[in-house]
Structure 1
Amino acid sequence: MGVKSALFTFDFEDESLCHAQRFDTAWERLRERERIVHGRTLELVAHSWTAGDAQILKYHYCPLLYFRRQYNLGCQLLETALGFKMQANESSYDLLHHVYKPDEEPVDKYQVSLRHFYDALGKDLTDWQHWESFVNGFHSKLFDLARIDRDDLHTDAALLYPFFTRLMAERDNRLFSGATMGESDLTDPPDKVAESQREIHGKFNAAMRSTQPRIDEILRKHFPDAE
């Protein structure tokens, strides 16, 4: 299998390994990816990360470091990734799942959040350098829906639990297409959200019908023996 094929399958392998909780093996594959992409194994602390690295930090490096109990490094890298997103003015709502998840003990990589690193390190989220900006970045309607006062959340990160769970419950009541439009799912009137969901659902089905032949072609190219 060539280099391009190895990169093509990386995300699939990572998902499979993490689902099986083979986190050490997934880490070895991630480090192998570095050698393919960069020609060397990276020095993770000293490496000059860029905004373009935020996704792989959030979804690959940081969760695996958490499961490997490398909390200091994982926390540092997740703070770096979130810092890039804050500098780019990404909405706090879109970052919420990376800052906080209610799961007490994560069992898969999508449950790991900054909150878990801070808990492991005995820190409070209010100490995060972007905490004030993060809280200020939520639309005022979200605080009304969650029945939480913004000023109270500024000083008490524990209020993220009711804030998060109430917002997610309302979001789940509104969405049915499998897609989200972000914060507007909750700030727009319910009937407008429902109309948007129906439109998205129709477009998704049409797109799948038109792209499936191309997907099949790519799979045949990379996995000719699978036919």
Structure 2
Amino acid sequence: ADVVPAEMIAKMGDAPSKGCVLVLQGLSGTGKGTTVAKLQATLPRAVSWSNGNVFRSLTLLAVSYCAAKAIEFNSEALTPELLAELMKCLEFGKFNDKFDIRINGIGHDLLVSEVANTTLKEPRVSKAIPTVAELTQGEVIKFAEAAAAAMSADGMNVLMEGRAQTLDYVRTPHRFELTLAQPLVIGQRRAAQRMMASALTVLKDIEAPTETQVFAALKSELEKMASTA
């Protein structure tokens, strides 16, 4: 787990000492999160950027607007004009001596770092994110690019991870992609996760399930998956 981050840092030369943007892309299950955590612990002044918080912030504003106007929240309500106004309610900069996103408008004045795991995780926000995200990809991309540029100019090392489709817009010479020698491992991992989740549900009322019971629960889910493949 330490080899890949070390090779990436070596290829970046002296860029981390000045501040830069590092893009790490790859499919789910290739180890992006683990690698970013290692890089963040190793590089000076490193910060991990998440577009998810921007989408959640926009969604909070959108559902709040619809509630205030007593209109139904749906894609039709999210006109280009409204989305442009909501984007103006988001500001990236230094607040309390650290970079943050300020949500200021539609009855809110919040810092994302303070509400990322509370207000932005409320059900009204979570269930509405897909609708907002589908309509605001371009806006969030521009916001993220500007934020990354501001942080790197301040000497910070910005770590951005995700799929290539969402990171192609980032201008940086420090771009890496994680792959697996055996891509089938990703599918096997997901299958194992589904089997375990199902087994836990089946066995939740058994205080100390036996090995035989665990095996039977896993086998049952595997057979269900195979029958629908």
TM-score by length of 2: 0.26
Going by fraction, where is helix more abundant, 1 or 2? 1
Query: Of Structure 1 and Structure 2, which has the larger fraction of its residues in strand?
Result: 2
When Rg is computed on C-alpha atoms for both structures, the one with the higher figure is 2
RCO (CA 8 Å, sep 6+): is it higher in 1 or 2? 2
